[in-house]
Amino acid sequence: MRILQLCKKFPYPLLDGESIAISYLSKAMNRLGCEVTLLAMNTSKHRVTYDDTPESLQHYKAIYSTEVDNQVKVWGAFKNLFSSDSYHISRFESKEFEAQLISLLEKETFDIIQLETLYLTPYIPIIRKYSKALICMRAHNIESEIWQRITKNTSFLPKKVYLNHLTEKLKTYELNHLNDYDYLVTVSDRDLKQFKKLGYKNGALASPIGLELNGYNNAINPFATKDICFIGSLDWRPNLEGISWFVDNVMPLVREFVPPVHLHIAGRNNPEAASKLKGEQVHFHGEVPSAIDFINDHKIMVVPLFSGSGTRVKILEGLALGKIIVTTTVGLEGIEAEHKKHVMIADTPEDFVSAIKEILSDEDLSGRLIANGKAFVKKYYDNLENAKVLIAKYKEIQKSPAYQK
């Protein structure tokens, strides 16, 4: 099976959930006998430079990339106020990317063209014109849902009004193009149900994000400190919003009621945040060479999200590494883990402090959480097993009369 994977960002290095989700699935597809080609935008926001193809990307048959300037610009944002276009989407519309896509489709034939996220849907008309491949949209989350939550959690009124305007246009775009693709792959059953509520009517499958679990099992650190850690890209607004809330509202209570415990933060792409994420018992490490090593050094991982959507890959990585996860209800969405069985759920500063105190004082609880969390990830988030189900579905569709047209 020949698969073309279209991405709005280059899936390297593997430091964020989107890159991990894209790379691990394509690697599993390759192991299952598929030829996978990558065409990615190399954006100004997540620009990547490398001399040789990194080892983590060597499973691709071929890699193509296009430089795309997707920076938020004052004049562009102002002009968009008077347009019906979604500024979230239009920043990823590129004539150069379109030309490279056409060139690729003219010289190669693909069975499946997999769009990684909503931001690739503007290119569906081009794909229809130059290819007969099945167009699959892999939704890492529900985009408008993220921005609705961000808007709700914004207190500064002018900014709230502006974000609401952008969010409404994004939601309109999402709804208008909901059935443009042939098949939908969501990362959770919860997201699939939400898409159907919005009006999605074509074929669909919930295919969880998978991890290469051997790499995590072999890395578990039995000498981790009892400190807390957080890791996430700080140019993704929900991450910055969440960890800033944690530093301002939870850490003062930690210093009062659990004084020996420190918070260690790792994140990239937001140097302005560094000064605000430092303080007494709070340590900002910036971008770290290895996310796995960083997570491994600590017993507890916090994921204080209030605006996210989709599945938090870092929660899955933490569980695979034998860490105890303390997260919000929103942070755990899409992951069918249970409170006090696999993770600890906390939605208020007091809840977080109570959970941390209980973890550190109850060794039996800690041991159960660690063992149950690792077993949970092994059962539901093995990359190769999840890819087998998806590939089988693609093959089934290929044999259907509708596809044969």
Task: For residue 326, list its beta bridge partners.
Answer: 302, 344
pTM: 0.89
Q: What is the residue whose two structure tokens read 């894209």?
A: 22
Upstream peptide bond of 260 is cis (omega within 30 degrees of 0): no
The CA-to-CA distance between both ends of the chain, in Å, stands at 18
> pLDDT digits over 41-78, tens only?
998 877 888 766 777 788 999 999 999 998 888 778 77
> Using an 8 Å Cβ cutoff, are 386 and 187 in contact?
no
pLDDT attached to residue 398: 86
pLDDT band at 218 (very low <50, low <70, confident <90, very high): low
Q: Could you tell me the two tokens for 42? A: 């190399």
Between these two residues, 122 and 74, which has the higher pLDDT value?
122
Phi-psi region of 234 (alpha: psi -120 to 50; beta: other; left: phi over 0): alpha
Q: Which is it for strands 344-345 and 225-231: parallel, antiparallel or unpaired?
A: unpaired
CA 341 to chain centre: 24
Q: Could you tell me the two tokens for 155? A: 């207190």
> Using an 8 Å Cβ cutoff, are 343 and 332 in contact?
yes
Taking all residues of the chain, what is their mean pLDDT, rounded to a whole number?
91
Q: What is the residue whose two structure tokens read 């990339």?
A: 65
Alpha carbons 104 and 65: distance in angstroms, whole number: 11
Interval 15-44 mean pLDDT: 92
pLDDT over 60 at 210, yes or no: yes
Domains of the chain, each with CATH number or no CATH: 2-210+383-404 (3.40.50.2000), 214-380 (3.40.50.2000)
pLDDT band at 220 (very low <50, low <70, confident <90, very high): low
- Picking from 158-167, 191-200, 262-271, which range would have the lowest pLDDT averaged per residue? 262-271
Interval 115-122 mean pLDDT: 96
Give 170's contacts (C-beta < 8 A, 6+ positions apart): 86, 88, 89, 143, 144, 147
Three-state DSSP class for 392? Answer: helix
pLDDT attached to residue 52: 67
pLDDT attached to residue 224: 80
pLDDT band at 183 (very low <50, low <70, confident <90, very high): very high
pLDDT over 90 at 251, yes or no: yes
Alpha carbons 254 and 33: distance in angstroms, whole number: 51
> pLDDT digits over 261-309, tens only?
999 999 876 667 666 788 889 999 988 988 889 999 999 999 999 987 6
pLDDT over 60 at 405, yes or no: no
pLDDT attached to residue 13: 81
**Sheet strand arrangement including 324-327:** 282-284, 263-266, 225-231, 298-303, 324-327, 344-345
